[in-house]
Every structure is written in structure tokens, then in C-alpha cells.
């Protein structure tokens, strides 16, 4: 019996990366790279890799490690469904309550235990995960603090306008340097996403691939502050991504635009790529009209109005 379900969650995320095309058949799955990407230690990663090996998703080579199987099981979709939603019900409840202003900015573990009737271990696990994902931090001394996230249409406007300011500019930095391996890898991922069955692929996996594309491109600037700024705002909208409904036409549109930017970079047309990136983000901002807002419950059900956000067609 494992002391934590973290290895299972990691294996589920890896399985979704494989299903979404982020990891391709035959690709080497390096434990340290997985640990760095998911913000965990190597121990649960090793357990997760072994879990997938037992299911035939990964193969193991002596002295080389794990690789995505060249022939994936026919019941891959069933295995995905068995993995369930990566976001546990209790974690989603905590996130929703913060998003809809049902929780104060500062809380204690005892307060959360009493509010939700959770065990001490459960509260600690959920808070640590939220901290890893960037929307909670431990206060100095005692308690926890919920961090600002994008809760309103205005906040999303501000995020996109900020991205329109930094992402094209980062591509024009004197230190910007093309990395063919990164470009090839992102091309492979974007092309794979065009071939997948959107309905059977978890939305968070597709959205993660989209965020990764932008972070890998801005990383080429050689300026760590551009990268950190983009990662920060991506974390601020991550909670909303759990509610995302992926539209196939929108997915095709986004991936196609990503591929156009890659093509310009591959030809060394950096200025044009920067301009295309701004167009890409500007178009995403204009297309945010499908965002719908409604009031959760009535005044008789709540003492104050709480916003219930339903987000559709989140930009990748």
C-alpha cells in the first residue's frame, strides 16, 4: 500500500501527456525531467513510472530507463477513465470556494478541517498541492494565504494584455536565440494535437500543451524574468483551466497559429514571428466573448452575492 496517492496522480498526468501527444511513442521518459515538470521529488516519479510499466504504457530498458511503448494498449481510453479526474473532488471544492469568494484570504489548517470535516492529513495534502500550483502560500509563522487568481473577465483581459506586451517583445530581445530541438519538439506536439480525439482527451492536458508552447518560446529570449512572468500569469489562470471546455474548432485554430509561428522561427524570420505572436494573442483576447457569468444561488441561499464562473474556449 502506498503512503500517498501522488504516484498515481503523476502516472495519470503522464498517461494524459501520452494521449495528448506531449509524449510520443518510443520517447525516453526521464525521471528527473518529469520531477522538474510536475514539481515533485524523484521517489513518487519512480513509482509512477513503474505503475505505467506494469500497465504496458511504458517499457523499461536496462541501464537506460523508461520509454513510451511503441505499441500502446488498445484500452488506453479505458485506462484514462480509470485514472479519473486528476483534480480530486475535495481539491476542486477548495478551489471553487476560493474562486467564488467563499473563503477568506487568510486561513488556518484548523479552520479548513472544521469547515470541510477533513482530516489533518487531507488538509495538509490539499494545501501543499495548491502551493505547488501557485495559488496558496504558507504564511510566516502560522497559517496559509490564498493568492490572487484570475476570477473575473477584467482579470483575464489584463492577463492577455500583459502577455501581448511581453511575449512578442521577448522574441525581439538581443539575447533571443533559436533552439532547433525545442522548435522541433513543439512542432511535433502541436501536430499531434491536431490528430487526437478531443472528446476523449482531458482538457487540462491540452491546455498544458498550449501553455508549454508559449513558455518554451519565451524561454528562447534568454531572459529568465520574461519566463518567470509568463509562468506566473499561467498559474493565475490554472484554476479556471480545470473548468475549461475544449472546442475542437478552437483547438485546431490555436494549433494552426502555433505552427505558423514555429514556421516563421524555423526560417529565421524573428520579427515576423513576433508580430504573428501579437496577432495570435490579440485574436485570443477578442475571442473571449464566449465567457459567461452567472450568479450562483440566490440571495436567500447566500448572505452575499457569489460569482459562479463558467469558462469556455480558454485560449491555449
d(CA 267, CA 264) in angstroms, rounded, equals: 5
To which residue does cell 522561427 refer?
A: 265
To which residue does cell 473563503 refer?
A: 103
d(CA 234, CA 219) in angstroms, rounded, equals: 14
Write down the H helix ranges in 41-179: 42-54, 76-83, 89-99, 109-116, 120-132, 153-170
What pTM was estimated for this model as a whole?
0.68
C-alpha cell at 66: 523508461
d(CA 187, CA 263) in angstroms, rounded, equals: 9
d(CA 266, CA 192) in angstroms, rounded, equals: 18
Please tell me the predicted confidence (pLDDT) of residue 203: 62
C-alpha cell at 142: 502560522
DSSP label at residue 29? E
Which domains, and CATH codes, for the chain? Answer: 6-83 (1.10.10.10), 89-146 (1.10.10), 153-293 (1.20.120.530)
pLDDT tens digits for the chain (316 residues)?
A: 344 577 887 888 888 788 777 788 888 998 888 888 777 788 888 998 998 898 888 999 988 899 988 877 766 666 665 554 445 678 888 988 988 889 999 999 999 999 999 988 889 888 988 887 778 999 988 899 998 777 777 777 888 899 999 999 999 999 999 999 999 999 988 888 887 765 556 666 677 788 899 999 999 999 999 999 998 888 877 776 655 566 777 888 889 999 999 999 999 999 999 999 999 999 888 765 434 434 333 333 333 333 433 344 444 5
User: At a CB cut-off of 8 Å and minimum separation 6, what does 244 contact?
Assistant: 203, 204, 207, 311, 312, 313, 314
To which residue does cell 470541510 refer?
A: 116
Determine which helix (DSSP H) or strand (DSSP E) holds 278, and give its type and residue range.
Answer: helix 270-286
C-alpha cell at 8: 498515481
Amino acid at each position: 500500500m502506498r503512503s500517498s496517492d501522488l504516484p498515481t496522480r503523476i502516472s495519470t498526468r503522464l498517461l494524459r501527456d501520452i494521449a495528448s501527444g506531449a509524449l510520443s511513442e518510443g520517447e525516453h521518459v526521464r525521471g528527473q525531467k518529469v520531477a522538474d515538470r510536475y514539481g515533485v521529488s524523484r521517489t513518487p516519479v519512480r513509482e509512477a513510472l513503474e505503475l505505467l510499466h506494469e500497465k504496458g504504457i511504458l517499457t523499461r530498458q536496462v541501464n537506460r530507463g523508461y520509454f513510451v511503448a511503441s505499441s500502446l494498449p488498445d484500452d488506453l481510453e479505458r485506462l484514462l477513465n480509470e485514472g479519473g479526474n486528476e483534480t480530486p473532488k475535495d481539491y476542486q471544492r477548495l478551489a471553487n470556494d476560493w474562486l467564488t469568494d467563499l473563503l477568506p484570504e487568510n486561513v488556518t489548517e484548523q479552520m479548513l478541517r472544521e469547515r470541510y470535516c477533513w482530516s489533518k492529513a487531507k488538509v495538509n495534502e490539499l494545501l501543499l498541492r495548491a502551493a505547488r500550483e501557485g495559488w496558496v502560500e504558507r504564511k510566516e509563522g502560522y497559517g496559509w494565504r490564498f493568492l490572487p487568481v484570475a476570477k473575473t473577465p477584467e482579470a483575464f483581459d489584463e492577463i492577455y494584455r500583459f502577455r501581448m506586451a511581453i511575449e512578442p517583445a521577448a522574441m525581439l530581445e538581443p539575447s533571443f536565440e533559436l533552439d532547433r530541438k525545442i522548435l522541433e519538439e513543439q512542432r511535433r506536439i502541436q501536430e499531434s494535437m491536431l490528430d487526437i480525439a478531443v472528446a476523449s482527451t482531458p482538457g487540462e492536458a491540452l491546455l498544458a500543451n498550449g501553455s508549454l508552447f508559449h513558455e518554451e518560446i519565451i524561454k528562447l529570449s534568454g531572459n529568465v524574468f520574461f519566463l518567470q512572468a509568463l509562468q506566473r500569469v499561467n498559474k493565475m489562470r490554472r484554476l479556471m483551466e480545470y473548468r475549461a471546455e475544449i472546442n475542437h474548432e478552437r483547438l485546431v485554430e490555436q494549433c494552426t497559429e502555433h505552427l505558423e509561428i514555429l514556421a516563421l522561427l524555423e526560417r529565421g524570420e524573428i520579427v515576423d514571428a513576433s508580430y504573428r505572436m501579437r496577432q495570435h494573442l490579440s485574436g485570443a483576447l477578442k475571442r473571449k466573448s464566449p465567457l459567461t457569468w452567472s450568479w450562483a444561488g440566490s440571495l436567500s441561499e447566500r448572505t452575499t452575492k457569489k460569482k459562479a464562473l463558467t469558462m469556455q474556449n480558454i485560449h491555449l
